[in-house]
Amino acid sequence: MGSEEVLKKIAGSSGDEFFSPVPEGYEKGKTKFIIIAGSVMSGVGKGIFASSLAKLLKYYGLNVAPIKIDGYLNQDAGTLNPFRHGEVFVLDDGLECDMDLGSYERFLMQPLSRENYLTAGMIFDKILKRERKGDYLGRDVQFIPHVTGEVKQALRKLAVKSKADVVLVEIGGTVGDFENAYVIEAMREMIYEEGKNNTCFINISYILEPPNLGEQKSKPAQLGIERLRGLGIQPDIMVCRSSNPIADKIKEKISVYSNVEVENVIGLHNTDTVYKAPFLLKDLKADERVVSLLNLNSKISNRMQKKELERWNKFVEKYTNIDEKVTIGIAGKYTGLNDSYASILKALEHAGTHNNLRIKIKYIETTAVEEGKLSEKEALEDVDGLIVPGGFGKRGAEGKIKCIRYARRKKIPFLGLCFGFQMAVIEFARVKAGMENADSTELEPEAQEPVIDILPEQKKIEGLGGNMRLGGQDVEIKRGTKSYELYGKENIRLRFRHRYEVNPKYISKLEESGIVFSGKHPKYNIMQVLELKDHPYFLATQAHPEFNSRPLEPEPLFNGFISAARNSRDKFV
């Protein structure tokens, strides 16, 4: 039986062993598949490599749809601790997902959806629900063919919905992880069913360079290749990540052990910024090799890619040649891991580059401020601007409020995000609106003056997962405000991730005391952006505008904040 016949088999159709469901409208060969997996260690840079390759292919004029597959059993990334997994990135359709999808959105300058993300939890939930309904017609439900079939189904559905020329698949973790075994098997089946000219498997491996030896060692990479081939997959391209450029003898060793031609063994060493990664891949002709392997030459435009790369290069040159600096304080409780605030850091980079400023970050652990181990003056006296980011729970909350109070009084530019918006409301209510006992019911369930309360529609929902206001929402901006000056229009769209909001009961009193709610829900009494008039820059939003920032299109609230931070710095120079 050939791959064409296998591809046409439907789940449980005749008790056969094939399970390769084909979505309506799917045509074999119309969409090509690039599969990227890592070995030796996690954190090898699969996301940046995949984003950069996708960018180059998109610049050719190809329609590229990325998908990240994570092996954990969570339904999504929403309940994962930022210390363990980095930030939770929220898509416009409300899916909470891996931070790598943020990299894809920023590099590709295009919004993604829940079809671009897949977890083991999603797969097994779907299978178990179907089994309970009797959809498998009495069959025993197994990893092969049913679990692997669902993985392939997800890739083909994405191909149909996105009308992609290329679906780029990133497999989280590493080759050899137990939780990835069925995903790797699904990719083996995918290569078998789709055909070699329609698939390209790229293995990203790490080349060690122990300081005490002073030379690169390829043995761990060789063992990773051996494991991959033992699982039935022959890579088409080997990418060797390293601190320094790969020696020719290392490439030759990898070529011999992987059965990959030397010209398809690519050395990818560290650069001083991820923004240069697309140019490094271009210099190595990685995109050209992929195009050749997938027979896409007739679909690409070299002229278009050259033009788009010139545009990108202007941004990169500007970013790398900036000398002026501003110091931005980030007052939070996940300050021990940069990835906890990845999108905020990127949004600051985008706005900083637009304003010809290099951003220096000062992390402020608000638990220390709360406990009196660090005063707000010590924390903020050397910053040009303050960001209080999102978060959950009571720990460090009073420390954030102290930092906001200091920034408000000392006229330090301030930007509050989500939880930071709520803390700004509480601080203002206590000091300026005469509500000494103002609080949030998230922090004090029996608060006497609950200026921040749970969303009415959430009060009947229990559990942490899936009960928040998530994703893109329309925001109505009030004319004559700083927010309107920044956005230049009355209707915008921002992404949200929260359960609590400004209690409608206290809105009038807060406004009478001086808060300007410059952004609200178009239909409901939900406050979404606030600002103060007697301050150089004091804005906060219930949203996460950092998710909308792009390298060539800095997010307006961040752009205005960095501009104000420059003015703040200049006052004290």
The set of catalytic residues is 418, 544, 546
Q: Report d(CA 231, CA 217) in Å as an integer.
A: 24
Q: Report d(CA 349, CA 347) in Å as an integer.
A: 5
Q: Minimal CA–CA distance to 389: which of 435, 341, 427?
A: 341
Three-state secondary structure call for residue 454: strand
Backbone torsions φ then ψ of 269, nearest 5 degrees:
-95, 170
Query: Which residues are within 8 A (CB) of 107 and not within 5 positions of it... i.e. 6 or more apart?
Result: 51, 52, 54, 55, 278
The position carrying tokens 């909001």 is 501
Q: Report d(CA 495, CA 470) in Å as an integer.
A: 7
What's the angle, vertex CA 178, arms to CA 175 and CA 183, rounded to 5? 65
Q: Do the Cβ atoms of 377 and 405 come closer than 8 Å?
A: no
Q: Minimal CA–CA distance to 475: which of 539, 534, 554?
A: 539
Q: Which amino acid appears at position 544 of this protein?
A: H
Strand arrangement, sheet containing 117-119:
117-119, 64-70, 166-171, 32-39, 199-206, 237-242, 265-269
Tell me the residue ranges of DSSP E strands in 263-371: 265-269, 325-332, 358-365
Q: Residues 313-342, buried b or exposed e (16+ Cβ, 10 A)?
A: eeebeebeeeeeebebbbbbbbbeeebbbb
How far apart, in Å, are the Cα atoms of 230 and each of 184, 233, 234, 235? 11, 7, 9, 12
Q: Do the Cβ atoms of 335 and 96 come closer than 8 Å?
A: no
Q: Do the Cβ atoms of 58 and 162 come closer than 8 Å?
A: no
The burial class, CB within 10 Å (0-12 / 13-18 / 19+), for 192 is: middle
What is the crossing angle of helices 286-293 and 46-59, to 10°? 70
Q: Report d(CA 394, CA 88) in Å as an integer.
A: 19
Q: Which amino acid appears at position 14 of this protein?
A: S
Q: Do the Cβ atoms of 221 and 254 come closer than 8 Å?
A: yes
What would the two tokens of residue 189 be?
Answer: 């089946």
Q: Minimal CA–CA distance to 337: which of 102, 99, 546, 82?
A: 82
